[in-house]
Structure 1
Amino acid sequence: MDKKIGKVTQALSANRAKLPAFTPPAIMGDAMPVGSVIAFAGEIRTSGDKPFETNLPMFNWLKCDGSSLEVAQYPELFSALGYRYGGSGQKFNLPDLRGEFLRGVDVDSSNNKKASLEGRKGAANGGNHEVGSTQGFALQSHVHTYQKPKRAMPILAEPGVSTTQIPLSQEDTSTPKSSQKNENLALSDKETRPVNTFVYWLIKTKL
């Protein structure tokens, strides 16, 4: 039995020797293009030396917070962004993605959705349908069904005035009854949104 196990082990070792060495994908190294944006789930160092915080500039990343940068300090990033997000002369701006979701540019693809182009506003120096454009809040148009009453509806008048009834010309029971309001549904008068989690949007600044 031991001899058989030894032969199997030798065969596996021989096969491993024939396999090419593992090469990390470009996204794991410095080959990620300058101007790339990623989501970062850790804390970012702002001052001091706290544990579990990352010093972004050390790794050539910055937050997408609309900051103004020197062209001379970040020439590669300027080549990628230009003045698209604002700035002039020797300064240019980062995109400001704080509190925003990202959506793929949808102009020249077969997946083009008209809704993705509606009401878009270009970046400081970009077109309305180009990268960097933004789109405001919207709620998709929709309809609701309701159950039509089967009896006349009494209309209450002011005190001292008689009531009246409005007869129904026909009964309609073909529409389903509306569901009860979900009391656990969180409502907001500020936005319509999916379930979400906070992350930092980071941009690659240098190779």
Structure 2
Amino acid sequence: MSTPNPQASVTATILQVANPLGSVTAYSGSQDPPTGGVSGEAQWILCDGRALDQETYSALYNLIGTSFGNGTVNNPNQIQNAFNIPDLRGRFIRGTDDMNGTAAGNDPDLSSRTAMMPGGNTGQNANKIGSLQPDGVVQHSHNYTAQWQQADDGGGFTGYGFDSNSTPSNPRTYTSSYIGGNETRPKNAYLNFIIRVK
């Protein structure tokens, strides 16, 4: 007969209080974290967008609803009343701009955000948690200077210059070759994200 370990019990309680249901955190494992099978113990799973049963995970469903999707995709078991957890594979996380209903103005393209999966929140929803933005580069322009030679009546040549705001009589378009990678990104390291579901 095993002896109860009060220290382990206290540690588990602290971890549950410190990480409320629905918490998402980085995790260095490659699979769902193991649980000890103890009743009431926290359960975490990878944020891979899978569909979960609304009844089995009712407390989580009451918190996030269909913010990330209505369960019609990533549902190989064809769960009838389902909802999706976040799909954070290959994605960065961004803080919401309007926490507590007050916009900070740090997401200028807020209204164009799209649903992560079918039925999920968009930039048009009051609750935008779970919405996505595609890759983007801020609008910008480049100035350039070009030179050409023009003959005058005396047969000589005179140099002229124009900048990017000039409109030449015979404009030409030039295309440079592509350089760089397939996306714009900061330096990064791979880790999994997990979500507390129970």
Scaled by the length of structure 2, the TM-score of the pair is 0.60
In structure 2, the CA distance between the partners of 1:72 and 1:169, relative to structure 1 (3 Å rule), is closer
Instruction: Report if the CA contact (8 A) 2:149-2:159 is conserved.
Output: no
Instruction: Encode CA deviations 1:135-165: one digit per residue, 9 max, x unaligned.
Output: 011111223344x35xx5369xxxxxxxxx7
In angstroms, what is the RMSD of aligned CA positions? 3.5
Instruction: Encode CA deviations 1:7-50: one digit per residue, 9 max, x unaligned.
Output: xxxxxxxxxxxxxxxxx9xx95212221111111x22347xxxx
Instruction: Encode CA deviations 1:75-118: one digit per residue, 9 max, x unaligned.
Output: 22122222332227432221111011111111343522352415
Amino acid in the other structure paired with 1:86 = N
Equivalences for 1:149-160 in 2 at 5 Å?
Answer: 153=148
Equivalences for 1:109-128 in 2 at 5 Å?
Answer: 109-117=102-110, 119-123=112-116, 124-128=118-122
SS in 1 for 2:193: strand
- The answer to whether 1:37 aligns with 2:24 is yes
Instruction: Report if the CA contact (8 A) 1:44-1:55 is conserved.
Output: no
SS in 2 for 1:168: strand
Amino acid in the other structure paired with 1:95 = P
SS in 1 for 2:60: helix
- The answer to whether 1:192 aligns with 2:184 is yes
**Aligned partner (choices 87, 95, 98) of residue 89 of structure 2:** 98
In 2, the alpha carbon distance for the partners of 1:205 and 1:197 equals: 25
Instruction: Report if the CA contact (8 A) 1:56-1:62 is conserved.
Output: no
In structure 2, the CA distance between the partners of 1:194 and 1:170, relative to structure 1 (3 Å rule), is closer
In 2, the alpha carbon distance for the partners of 1:66 and 1:166 equals: 66
The percent identity for this pair of structures is: 28
In 2, the alpha carbon distance for the partners of 1:169 and 1:127 equals: 53
- The answer to whether 1:64 aligns with 2:50 is no
Equivalences for 1:139-178 in 2 at 5 Å?
Answer: 139-146=137-144, 148=145, 153=148, 167-168=159-160
Q: Shift in Å at residue 73 of structure 1?
A: 2.5
Q: Shift in Å at residue 66 of structure 1?
A: 1.0
In 2, the alpha carbon distance for the partners of 1:55 and 1:168 equals: 73
Return the index of the structure with the highest Cα Rg: 1
In structure 2, the CA distance between the partners of 1:91 and 1:57, relative to structure 1 (3 Å rule), is farther
Instruction: Report if the CA contact (8 A) 1:37-1:202 is conserved.
Output: yes
Report the equivalent of 1:11.
none
In 2, the alpha carbon distance for the partners of 1:30 and 1:153 equals: 72
In 1, the alpha carbon distance for the partners of 2:57 and 2:51 equals: 11
- Paired residue total: 148
Q: Shift in Å at residue 170 of structure 1?
A: 6.9
